[in-house]
Structure 1
């Protein structure tokens, strides 16, 4: 006898379409539009599968599921929802739902999934059904492209499969890695992030696997590597496409064996961490050219998750912008609102720097806008690159030893390329020192200007610059700049 299906859906048109499609497959469907109706039917009949909406006429379909799952543990559940956020996808996953479908959904795919659910004999995993997340989720967006990402995230929360996150710079790869860690079974352990592109090639093995005292010149003590630091947690290997081949070989060996050995050591250490890797590079042509190991690729890409660029999810720009405005206000910046016209203008931009670029623009607008409501007039100059001019070098005394008022900023009117060329000609740096000299000369007026714009507030200055506050604090110390040094600049 064919197992019956219970459909709990308060949108009559959707309920009719789903019922017709399932009955055309020879399946029996009972239908109701509320939690109360659901409970009456469950008390009177036996069902192999329940499809339920989240927002019903008398309550939350997910929140009311735990007692149902406890009473009918072998009944599969598929959740349908127009509340298309990562929070909803995770809540659906935590109930042990067989699948989660954001609306609008592909009807043929839903029918196939119903067949798969009815054919599954696995009991639902009820662990974590009553668990509260208790924290804000880091991903924002309800576009179909982001719904696919959410569904992939929920599929890996209950296992330790290796995940490879692909996407352009600024799409939020580390946020996805953090979400998998924070919402998964290893959330109580550490989340250790490593930018493999930022580690000198000769030190990468030591950073990842650790080293013993005396393993090489300068190894004056034992160093515990990132794999060990991530024990019982998650190791996030960012920019994995930039890892040198020698280190790729050792990483592959570690993943294959599940054990590592510190540089210069003999003891084998068992791995106890989840591996998540990410890259903005296309690894397939790199494999073909011998720049990336094919066997390592398949070890890392057990579950690939591809993040869409922001230009392919323009519908999410407004929600992201409002989210960042709220974040900016929470960080102490003025509380701003976004007009409908401003939101439409932002949604039309190409955002080559993706979500990271949008975030920086929104934080600058929160800091610099003259009105509480940010509209097109406030946004257009910033998008065109019309930012406040740097103060005159001579007036501000921005460069060491510039008693004559000259410096890389010149008189404040020449373009940067001309000023840089003049700086090089006049400074005549020694061979091998030009980069450091030019960088120091540029950073000093830039940081002073940012501090002047923010009244000496380092947090706001870092947000204006689009860099980490700790990075700013370190560079200010390196350059001998105190926040109050900038307060005399006008």
Structure 2
């Protein structure tokens, strides 16, 4: 059982402070909650806590700037950062300033409780050298929970040289993750070298990786540096590692074990000063079981695993990604286009077997083919053969997708009503009615208990029943 500790919570939202405090107190901790940096200073004057939990955006300053100073003044203080600015940059910045962990809002209370327990058990935070404050384009796009977990792992590995194995379907962005790890880490000023193991003839793989001497084989007219030498001081990205021939796997394993290699036809050992990041769209564990991949190499590569979600598993990122690709297409000289809400609804219903790469290609294609500035649901459906917007929403698509689908139907059937000033009230009523009816049914028609479950008072519930025309039973 984890030990209890003194926890200081900093958040300008009183409701969040209350919820966090209640959850951590149930776990046995002593909790003090404040709403600003000024209150934080006064709390620290009375004694440093065992763990600090803080928001980033506070009314009198930036929480991350404060964390950097506190970690310097209180070595070993674990800090858990919470933020609604849930991008990769925020996650990495939190790690840079010395935070123990980073949780994007909205966060799971169990995850926060576990993070606090881990911080207390560990007793000290990671220290990470800052990489500078220059503006950087986001290497990865998405704010879904699945991508937040990817960001958290990336943030933890950028400062070290641990080997990373990225797995995921084709088109999910494995090389983007590898480049992010390189560009945000201490080796960023050295080369990033990528090699696709599936694209090289098996008899040439060793020469490609390790280089060769003049005369090492027919056609070797001069000494040639391999990818390990080309990436010296930087990162070597081994893409589609699952397609590497078994005999080449043996040579790679020896290099990872010894940290040295020799060129084909050479005798002098060369130090392998590279960070290894590998990627695959295949199940390496199954390949190991089938005897097609070395088990010892698998464990050497799988030090830090990162699994990228398929696009269909992060549908809430669809609009953000699509609009990003349209903007990038415009920057590349293609016509500038926008997406209608109906178009977003159709995108979210597609299964995307080609994942993010397929979506990017579609946006570039529509930027050229779409006649109007605004890309509609019909434009997308005509290209990908998507179902019409009134198709039943998949059960896992959630309320967000249901709203998008409803908007798509209104756009097609009643376009004038999108701008008549009643849209908000009509859609809220459509969601509110089944919610209230469900709560009344759950509590046997008892309005008091239904109101408590909904978090409203009984008089408000009665007014909503009258307004919506719900007959209480």
Shorter-chain TM-score: which interval?
A: 0.7 to 0.9
Equivalent pairs, count:
384
Secondary structure of the residue aligned to 1:171 is coil
Question: 2:228·2:272 contact (CA, 8 Å) conserved in 1?
Answer: yes
Secondary structure of the residue aligned to 1:236 is strand
Shift of 1:384: 2.7
Question: 2:166·2:278 contact (CA, 8 Å) conserved in 1?
Answer: yes
Match of 1:28 in 2: 30
Match of 1:426 in 2: none
Deviates more, 1:302-311 or 1:5-14: 5-14
Match of 1:62 in 2: 64
- CA distance in 2 between partners of 1:348 and 1:24 (Å): 41
Match of 2:142 in 1: 141
Question: 2:100·2:125 contact (CA, 8 Å) conserved in 1?
Answer: no
Shift of 1:293: 0.9
Shift of 1:3: 4.8
Question: 2:21·2:31 contact (CA, 8 Å) conserved in 1?
Answer: yes
Secondary structure of the residue aligned to 1:152 is helix
| Cα offsets for 1:398-442 (capped at 9, x unmatched) | xxxxxxxxxxxxxxxxxxxxxxxxxxxxxxxxxxxxxxxxxxxxx
Match of 1:267 in 2: 268
Q: 1:59 to 1:342 in 2, by over 3 A?
A: farther
Match of 2:216 in 1: 215
Question: 2:288·2:294 contact (CA, 8 Å) conserved in 1?
Answer: yes
- CA distance in 2 between partners of 1:123 and 1:276 (Å): 25
- CA distance in 1 between partners of 2:211 and 2:91 (Å): 38
Q: 1:2 to 1:361 in 2, by over 3 A?
A: closer
Alignment of 1:404-443 (within 5 A): none
Question: 1:51·1:78 contact (CA, 8 Å) conserved in 2?
Answer: yes
Match of 1:108 among 104, 110, 114: 110
**Structure 2 residue runs without a partner (length 5+):** 387-473
- CA distance in 2 between partners of 1:2 and 1:103 (Å): 24
| Cα offsets for 1:226-276 (capped at 9, x unmatched) | 001111100000011111111111001111111101001100011100000
Secondary structure of the residue aligned to 2:265 is coil
Secondary structure of the residue aligned to 2:165 is strand
**Structure 1 residue runs without a partner (length 5+):** 386-490
Match of 2:96 in 1: 94
| Cα offsets for 1:172-228 (capped at 9, x unmatched) | 000000000001111111000001111111111000010011101101100100001
Match of 1:8 in 2: 10
Q: Kindly report the root-mean-square deviation, in angstroms, between the aligned alpha carbons of the 2 structures.
A: 1.7
Question: 2:68·2:98 contact (CA, 8 Å) conserved in 1?
Answer: no
The two structures have a TM-score, normalised by structure 2, of 0.78
Shift of 1:124: 4.8
Match of 1:184 in 2: 185
- CA distance in 2 between partners of 1:154 and 1:251 (Å): 27
Secondary structure of the residue aligned to 1:264 is coil
- CA distance in 2 between partners of 1:137 and 1:34 (Å): 29
Match of 2:259 in 1: 258
- CA distance in 1 between partners of 2:126 and 2:262 (Å): 39
